[in-house]
Structures are given as C-alpha cells and as structure tokens.
Structure 1
Amino acid sequence: MAAGVALGSAAPEFAGALESLLWPALGLLLYTTFTQVPLTHLPEAFRDGRFMAAVLFGNFVLVPLAVWGLLAFAPVDPAIRLGILLVLLVPCTDWFITFTHLGGGDARRAIAVTPVNLLVQLALLPLYLWLFMGDAFLELLTADRVAAVFVTLILLPLAAAWLTERWAEPSTSRRGIVAQIGWWPVPLLGLVVFMIAASQLPAVQGALPALGPVTVTFVVFLIAAMLIGMVLARALQLPAASARALIFSLGTRNSFVVLPLALALAPPWQTAALVIVLQSLVELFGMAAYLWAVPRLLPKPPSEKI
C-alpha cells in the first residue's frame, strides 16, 4: 500500500492503466481464492449440527447486531459506513481456515462450513445493506456497473472455481495443481492493494483523517467477535477445537469478495474500497493477536489433545 501511494504521487499518469489492470487482477484473485473453498463438498458441513448452528447464528445474527452497535461510533461519511458494512457483514472463506489450523482449531470443520458461509453471505448481504442503509442502498443496487461486476468478478470466478474442483476430484495430480493455486492469493492480494493505492490516490488522501476512527472500529470488532464466539461456544457446549474454529470464523471477514463491489461504485462512494483494504490490514494483525489469545482462553482438555 505504501509503495502504491509512492507511485501514485510520483507518476500519477499511470493511474488509468493501473485501474484498468486492477479488474483482471481482482478476477484472478477471486478465482484462486474460490478454488480453495470446497464447493463440491457441501453435505459434509451439516454433519455437526451444533457447530453449523453456532457459525450461522454467530455470523448472520449476532455479528450483524454487533456491527449495528459499532456504527453508532463510526464516522458519519456514508461511503465510509458503507465500507464498514460491506466488509464486516460477510464472514471469511479463505485465510480463516489457515488461522484456525494455526490456532489449534478444528480445521476439518472450518473447511466443511466454508462453502455454506460463502453462499449464505451472497444471499443475505443485499438484505443486510438494505436494512442498514434503506433507500440509499437501493440506489446503489440499481447501478449497472455494480451488477456487471457482481456477475463477472464474483459469480463467474465462483462457477469457474466449482468447475475446477470438479475437474480435479478424480485425479491426485489435478488436486495437486489446485493445491498449488492456493499460493496465488497471497501475491495477488499484494498486487491488488498496490494497484488500489496507486490508482486511487486522491481518495486515499481524502480519507486519511477518518482512517484513525475506522481503525478503532475494526479493533473493537475483533474484540467483540472473540467475546461473542466464547459465549456462543459455551452456550452450545462446543469442544475447545470447535470453539476455536468458531471464534476465527467470527473474527475474519471476506474483504476479497466485497472489494470489487466497492470499486465498482460511483466516485463519491469509492472511499468504501479503502475502508475494506484497511480492514484486511487490521485483521491481519488482529489474527496474530488471536493466535496468541484464543489457545489460552480456550485450552484443550487432555481428551482433545490425543
């Protein structure tokens, strides 16, 4: 992001070209991300009913309520509030699994629940935005560019990823190729953040005064998500490994998926994209804190360590 700001300041004539290249980079980022979501194994998600209920109730009922409370302390700029809503209302479907594994959570259940999280969030996000924003969201929804981006940068990569998984299933060597694709989102995300910073420099500069309060909002969200996960896990008597997976699901958000939608908005609304990028950076540091805190708050009993 710093390198992008430096390039945008030194050579603003590259902004147009970088913005054009941003869209295929985003499409490739989402395709490679979606290939790591086990879309062909949806039935496996429903084998543990308590864990599934906890993830769905937490992500799609309790977290939206927490976000509603946080908005009372967020900047009043509508574009900033839209960015907060876009990114905090949708649970993560990619590095959530990695952090669950690193934190000693149940990675198998995390993998199984991921495609359900993805499909439910795509269905509910318009409803949530309408509830939070009212008629202002309806105006955004009717924008032709937003609809086109949703189809070309979300639905098409999702379908392509599903076909890729189906193609890879019968062959060990093909599954190896899909596993190698799993490394691509990391450099692609770095490239996308660089392009956004370089091509959207005026928006970056205009949003700087508000980024401090927004950062605080995202930090408070991480704390609230952890507390919600602990209470919910205790209420449903989840094993420690499942409880850890639940907390990582509630704390991580799906910035990759909503970023194209924010970038497709009219210029007055594009600060939302910067808010989403900021959230992903805050979340990365927040997950480092989670990796330290969650195993200590939810130690595994001897029976789970075997």
Structure 2
Amino acid sequence: FILIPILVYGLIHLFNITSLPILIGLYLVLLTPCIDYVIVFTALGKGNAQYMLISTPILFILQILLLPFYCALFLNSHVLTQIDRQPFLEAFLTFIVLPLIFAILLQLFSGKFKPMQQLQVMAGWLPELFMAFVLFTVVGSQINTIIQDLSIVLTVIPIYLCFMMISPCLGVLCGKLFRLDVLTLRTLAFSNGTRNALVVLPLALSLPNQWVTIATTVIVTQTLTELFGELVYIKLIPKFIK
C-alpha cells in the first residue's frame, strides 16, 4: 500500500497517460490487490495459500479505505467533483458490503447451527466455479467494447506488462527486508502482481456515462492481461524464489 501506489503513479507518468477515464480505470484496478483468484494461483505457484486466504479481509478493508485517498491524491480535484458519489456508494454496498456481511454471518452461525454448517460445507466448492462464471460473464459482456476500443487496449497493455514484471520484485524486496520465509516471499510476489479487477468493476460501471465505457475497457483488459501473466507467474516465481 506504499510501494505499489508509487509504482503505479510512476508508470502512468512514464507512459504519459492524460485521458481522465483511462486514468480512473488504471488507478481503480492497479491500486487494489486481488482477494479472490490470487489464492488459487498462489497455491499453484507453491506459495502459502493459507496466508493469502487469511490476509484477504485485511486487504479488502484497507483497499476500500485507501482507494478514495489515492484518488484524491493522484487525480485532479476537478475530476473528483464530476463523479457522482451516490452510484459509487450503491455499487459498493450492493456488490461488496452485503456479500461480505452474508459471508461473516455464515461463518459465525455455522458453529452454532447445523444447517448453517452444512450450507457452509456445500458452499466450500463454489468459489472457483462462480469465479470462472464471473470471469466468463465479465469478459463476454465487454468483449465488443474491447474490440471497438483497440487503441485504448494498446495504450494500457504496456503499463500492465511493466507492472506485472516489477510488482512481484517489490513484494520480494519487502519480504526480504522483514526476513520472511520462502513460501511467504512467493505469496507476497503473487499478491503484489495480482489486482482486483472483478471487485472494482462495479465501481467503474457507476461512473458517468461518458467515462464508463473506457474505464471498463481498461479494467477488463487488465484482467485478460493478468490471466496470461499468472500462467507465467506459476512457472517462474517458484523457480526464482527459493
């Protein structure tokens, strides 16, 4: 939450991004660490998936608290005045807060009521299935937009590639400063390199109409780029971090 924002700010200025909706999309997606499929890829990449799972609520709360601060810090104040906060708040409550509350309640009551415990067991195999379904739905719903806005795609892909190369190194650097073990170093590398597109997409969809198409294209492009990058991660991270 310190080094990654500095990296993102530097990359955006290095590539001279000035379009406001592209900027908003980049900041939304690159400033928020992943809290869903990163767990699966961490396990595949021989990291500590249990630590990654434990850290997800912490990462979630911190990114939601810090994202407005980052936007206020990096974006022009004139831009912020044009964003209607009500759709942001509605999307945040509907797609993020309510599911989190339901998950917490399920955890709490599963130890007291057998039906809730059975429901939790039944739901244990659903995350991967629903994650794949969400990915398919998101990409399918936005693919025409991406094809129509290839210039935007070509603008942001170099930024994403640079980010995916540098960010895991920052994770390893931080881990070595704190003398963490190899499995945790790999976990930090995956966490730093994997971003939270599926969670921030509803926020992008609540932007003003003149920005929403471009911002969502930027975010979905990051997901597609990242999925290919994760296949590289699971091969290289265990090889180089040992």
Q: Same fold (TM over 0.5)?
A: yes
Specify the alignment match of 1:188 in structure 2. 134
Q: Which has more radius of gyration?
A: 1
State whether structure 2 residue 239 is matched by structure 1 residue 293.
Answer: no
Kindly provide the CA deviation profile for residues 34-68 of structure 1, in whole angstroms up to 9, marking residues without a partner as x: xxxxxxxxxxxxxxxxxxxxxxxxxx000000001
Q: TM-score, normalised by structure 2?
A: 0.91
Give a deviation string over 1:12-40, Cα, whole Å, max 9, x none.
Answer: xxxxxxxxxxxxxxxxxxxxxxxxxxxxx
Residues 1:65 and 2:6 are matched in the alignment: yes
Deviations along 1:130-171, one digit per CA (max 9) or x if unpaired, are 101031443255443222222222222222222233343455
- Secondary structure at the aligned position of 2:18 is classed as coil
Distance 1:79 1:251 in 2: 23
1:197 positional shift = 3.3
* 2:49 counterpart of 1:107: yes
2:185 is the alignment partner of 1:232: no
Find the aligned partners of 1:140 and 1:110 in 2 and give their Cα distance. 36
Provide the residue aligned with 1:284 in structure 2.
227
Aligned partner of 2:192 among 250, 257, 280: 250
The equivalent residue for 2:28 is: 86
Q: Deviations over 1:162-214 (max 9, x none)?
A: 2233343455533322213212121122113212335xx4x752x32121131
- Specify whether residues 255 and 237 from structure 1 end up closer, same or farther in structure 2 by C-alpha distance, changes over 3 A only: same
Q: Please name the residue that 1:36 is paired with.
A: none
Residue aligned with 2:32, SS = coil
Map residues 1-306 of structure 1 onto 2, 5 A cutoff: 60-72=1-13, 73-170=15-112, 171=114, 173-182=118-127, 183-197=129-143, 201=145, 205=148, 207-270=149-212, 271-299=214-242
| Distance of 2:16 and 2:103 partners within structure 1 | 36
Classify the secondary structure of the residue corresponding to 1:105.
coil
The alignment partner of 1:184 has SS state of helix
Report the number of matched residues: 236
The amino acid that maps onto 1:155 is: V
Distance 1:255 1:74 in 2: 22
Distance 1:86 1:212 in 2: 18
Would the aligned equivalents of 2:52 and 2:187 in 1 still touch at CA under 8 Å? yes
Task: Name the CA distance, whole Å, in 2 between partners of 1:216 and 1:272.
Answer: 17
How much has 1:247 moved relative to structure 2? Answer: 0.5
| Cross-structure match for 1:43 | none
Contact 2:139–2:220 (CA<8 Å) still a contact in 1?
yes
CA contact (8 A) 2:152 2:218 kept: no
| Shift in CA distance, 246/219, structure 1 to aligned 2, threshold 3 Å | same
Structure 2: 5+ residue runs without aligned partners?
none
Cα distance per residue 1:108-129 (max 9 Å; x no partner): 2111111100011111100001
Change over 3 Å in CA distance of 1:165–1:178 after alignment to 2 = farther
TM-score of the superposition, structure 1-length normalised? 0.73
Listed as ranges, the gaps of 5+ residues in structure 1 are 1-59, 300-306
SS at match of 1:104: coil
Aligned-pair RMSD on alpha carbons?
1.8
For 1:66, the aligned partner's letter is L
Query: Is contact 2:153–2:217 with CA below 8 Å preserved after alignment?
Result: no
Mapped contact 2:84–2:207 kept (Cα < 8 A) = no
* 1:53-104 deviation line (CA, Å, top 9, x unaligned): xxxxxxx000000001011115321111110100000000011111111111
Distance 1:269 1:96 in 2: 28
Question: Per the alignment, do residues 177 and 187 of structure 1 end up closer, same or farther by CA in structure 2, a change over 3 Å counting?
Answer: same
After TM superposition, give the deviation of residue 266 of structure 1 in Å: 1.2
Structure 2 Cα separation of the partners of residues 287 and 256 of structure 1:
15
Percent identical pairs in the alignment equals: 33
